[in-house]
Each structure stands twice: as C-alpha cells, then as structure tokens.
Amino acid sequence: MTAPELHAGLRKTAIVAILLVLWEAATRLGGVSPLLFPSASAVLAAFGRSLATGEIPGYAGQSLQVLLVGMAIGGLLALVLTALAVTTRVGAEFLETVTAMFNPLPAIALMPLALLWFGLGVKSLIFVIVHSVLWPMSLNTYTGFVTVPRTLVSVGQNFGLTGWRFVVGILLPAAFPYILSGVKIGWAFAWRTIIAAEMVFGVSGSQGGIGWFIYQNRFEMNTDLVFAGLLTVILIGLLVENLFFRWLERKTVVRWGISTGR
C-alpha cells in the first residue's frame, strides 16, 4: 500500500468510528427503545455473540453457497450464449434482444414465478440468481470478445493457432478485463438478489440464509440481531468487492496494464 492509500484508509476508518460514536450517543441520549433502534454497542455485542455461536457464519455460508452455485450456472450459460453470439449473427441479435428485455427486470420480481415452478427451496433461489447474473455477464463477455484488438487476432493466427487453442490462447485472456467486470457486476446483483429472495422464504416460514436470518429475527423482535444481520451483509459485500476483486484485479488487469476503463 502506498502512503496516500494508507492515509485514505485511515481517514475512512476514522469516519466509520465517528459514525459509530454518533450512533451510540444518539441511542443512549435520545431515549429510543432498543426494540426499534438498538445502540451500536448492543449490535456489535449481538454480532459478536452470533459469530461465536456460529449462527451468523452458518447462515451467511448458506447464502454464499447458493449464490456461488447460481453464479456458476449463470456463468456457464453466459459462455454458451456468448459463444453463439460471437459465431453467428442470429446469436448476436438474440443476445442483444434478450439482454435488453431482461436487464430492466429485477430478479426478485421473478420470485413468485420461481416458487410456482420450483417450489419453496434452493432451486427457486438459484433460478433468480441465474437470472440476475446471466444478462450482465453475457453482455460483458460478448463485448470483451468483439473488442479483442484486430492485431492480437492476427498475431494468434500468425502463430498458427486455430479452434480452442486460439480461444484459450488469445481470445479469453484478451477479453478477460470485460469478463472480470461482468463477474463483478454479476456478484453485486446476485448478492443483493439473494438477500431479498431469502426474505420471501422468511414470509413463507421455511429456512435458509442470512436474509432469512434477518427476517426471522425481526419476527422475534431481536432487533439487535436484525442489525447484526445487516452488518454481515455489508461486511461480506465489502470483503468480496474490496478485498477479493481488488486482489484479482491487481494480479491480472492491473499487472497487464489493460482495463475496460470501468
């Protein structure tokens, strides 16, 4: 980490600390019922307890597992769609049309249909996750493939590369910045979608995931645990976006000096 980055990090930590102090002060001095708005210390304590009992890690793990399965299926389908789009004109038009149609549709709006088709269970969750990640991932991967520099294509052909060797040796790495940004967008959509979708499970009374944990604790008026659940959602989002994806970018697109400018 460079010095300015370190300083920015320290300032941001200070901002979080100040917000926590203000929160604590407001709940103590304001006389708000802890059932409506628990203090920061109570939330952190509940979070700590829940971590120790393994309750929060368990539910978070459950959410992440379903999310990863959904993203993997979505990713494979995205590859198929992209392959069709790159190789045929109809495929390209199909991809553009369905992406334009489905992109504005929030995945959670499909939950009722999913329940109808797949019932109350993991399958329904996976269905909405696949929907939330498939379109952004396909569109980005496709853009990545069609914007591979002409020169690199010629260089690959000049090496005598054909078929899958050409795809693996030239196209995939050249399109990687776009594929990565598609996966990042896919993750962001999927993480928000799964929390929301699990709430629907909360409504219907079955079990599962951190979203369900939040909903269930609201039902039991464990407001501190509701906050602890929200904190978990935020923390996991930050960890994945700021640690995992940053690390992956440093290892790849930053090192290679190529990015999509996003």
Ranges of H-type helices in 31-148: 40-53, 55-87, 89-102, 111-118, 122-146
User: Which one, 4 or 257, has the nearer CB to other proteins?
Assistant: 257
C-beta pairs of 97-102 under 8 Å, 24+ apart in sequence: 98/135, 99/135, 99/138, 99/139, 102/131, 102/134, 102/135
Structural tokens at position 97:
């049309």
Euclidean distance between CA atoms 26 and 7, whole angstroms: 28
Return the residue of 92, 176, 240, 241 that touches other proteins, per CB under 8 A: 176
Structural tokens at position 160:
């005598």
Return the residue of 4, 30, 104, 160 that touches other proteins, per CB under 8 A: 160
Binning the chain into helix, strand and coil, the percentages to the nearest 5 are 85, 0, 15
Q: Rule CB under 8 A: is residue 170 a binding residue for other proteins?
A: yes
Give me the count of residues in the chain.
Answer: 262
**Nearest distance, CB of residue 171 and other proteins, angstroms:** 12
Select from 65-73, 125-133, 159-167, 189-197 the region that touches other proteins (CB under 8 A): 159-167
Return the residue of 88, 157, 206, 207 that touches other proteins, per CB under 8 A: 157
User: Which one, 107 or 170, has the nearer CB to other proteins?
Assistant: 170
Q: Rule CB under 8 A: is residue 261 a binding residue for other proteins?
A: no
User: Which one, 65 or 154, has the nearer CB to other proteins?
Assistant: 154
Contact 99, 139 (CB under 8 A): yes
Q: Rule CB under 8 A: is residue 230 a binding residue for other proteins?
A: no
**Nearest distance, CB of residue 151 and other proteins, angstroms:** 4
Return the residue of 88, 103, 154, 242 that touches other proteins, per CB under 8 A: 154
Select from 7-15, 125-133, 173-181, 235-243 the region that touches other proteins (CB under 8 A): 173-181
Q: Rule CB under 8 A: is residue 163 a binding residue for other proteins?
A: no
Structural tokens at position 95:
């991809």
**Nearest distance, CB of residue 202 and other proteins, angstroms:** 45
Q: Which residues contact 257 (CB under 8 A, 6 or more apart)?
A: none
Work out whether the CA dihedral 169, 170, 175, 177 comes out positive or negative: positive
Q: How many residues bind other proteins (CB under 8 A)?
A: 21
What's the angle, vertex CA 50, arms to CA 49 and CA 52, rounded to 5?
A: 65
Return the residue of 34, 54, 119, 169 that touches other proteins, per CB under 8 A: 169
Q: Rule CB under 8 A: is residue 151 a binding residue for other proteins?
A: yes
User: Which one, 40 or 180, has the nearer CB to other proteins?
Assistant: 180
Q: Rule CB under 8 A: is residue 161 a binding residue for other proteins?
A: yes
